[in-house]
Amino acid sequence: MATTRSSRAADRRARQAAEGRTERRIYLAAAAVGAVVLAIIVVGVILTVVLPPRSTVVKVGDHTFTARDLAVRVKYAALIEQNGSAATDPRVVIPAWTRTEVLRQKSEGLGVAAVTDEELNKQLRKKISAAPDSPEAEFQAGYERYLKTVPITREQYEDIVRGEALGQKAADAFKAKIPEAGPQIHLLGVPVSDRQKAEDLRAAVKSGKDFAQEAVSRGLGQADQIDLHWHDPASLPDLVKPIGDLKAGEVSEVITDDQAGGFFVAFMLEREENRKYEDAVKAEIANRQLLDWAKQQEASLVGPVTLSKSAESWVIRQVKSAIADATRRSQEAQRAKK
């Protein structure tokens, strides 16, 4: 009996030892699985949250811009400039963004000084529609209220506005050197959503009918919308550049506007080789000259855009979140008024 009891006790101890080893294996396996899951989560966080905002988007001279910097610009474009495409395609803001940085770095070569605090103050007043002569304390109070509605910090907002002011100063510098008169063209034009309607309008005008009357009668636009006024032919956008070569009384070919998703037809009403420039035409020429200058500088200053898919997705998420917050605040404000 004693031997049997001893044997049974030994069996129990053996079973317990085996069960203990099994439990330890289970615990170790569970710990290993947990460690793997945790590692996957950590790696996922690093890849989707930590690294994207720090990743380089573009270099301008010795300045490196990251996805976090791009997100600030896209928020400004989407919510303040009301650029709807920026929210889903952050790349659309990069050309103007890098051009502003080029101007910051090279403006002295144009004889354009940096924007002063006084000039910034004037620009900020325009932004919030504050009277130029309103008391500073009143302006600052209104400005603080306005800043609560924008999705970026005060420093970020003022940096962007300072860049805009510098761009205006540079354009004014070019404008001051433009002569008083030069070649100009007086255009009529109308956007058309349907190509056949555009072709029909063109055919009618080529047969001798009046462009403006035909466009209005066909429901393609109002008379005051059709007159595009005077322009510098060299400053026409690339899409409609060929229009500048038309003779007075000629109608253009139907132009396809892929960006707007439609078509355009223009008519050369008049051309003059030495007409006095109106202020708007001078501004048009100055902006074109500034753009040409900036493109020349970009060739040596601006590196390739290296916006990765993960960084782009991160930027889009930041902007969508900012839009959602702005919508919520607007709805709360509307409810508070009721």
User: For the whole model, what pTM was predicted?
Assistant: 0.77
For the cut 50, the answer to whether the pLDDT of residue 318 exceeds it is: yes
CB 319 within 8 A of CB 67: no
For the cut 90, the answer to whether the pLDDT of residue 51 exceeds it is: no
Place of tokens 């003022």: 158
Q: Rounded distance, CA 48 to CA 52, Å? A: 6
The greatest distance separating any two alpha carbons of the chain, rounded to the nearest whole angstrom, comes to 128
More reliable by pLDDT, 223 or 155: 155
Q: Which two tokens stand for residue 39?
A: 């590692």
180: left (phi over 0), alpha (psi -120 to 50) or beta: alpha
pLDDT of res. 221: 86
pLDDT of res. 33: 52
Q: Per residue in 181-193, pLDDT tens?
A: 999 999 999 999 9
The pLDDT confidence band at residue 269, using thresholds 50, 70 and 90, is very high
Distances (CA, A) of 209 to 37, 116, 198, 213: 75, 55, 14, 8
The pLDDT confidence band at residue 4, using thresholds 50, 70 and 90, is low
Least confident interval from 51-60, 148-157, 241-250? 51-60
Place of tokens 């460690």: 35
Q: Per residue in 164-173, pLDDT tens?
A: 999 999 999 9
For the cut 80, the answer to whether the pLDDT of residue 119 exceeds it is: yes
Helices (H) and strands (E) in the chain, counts: 12, 6
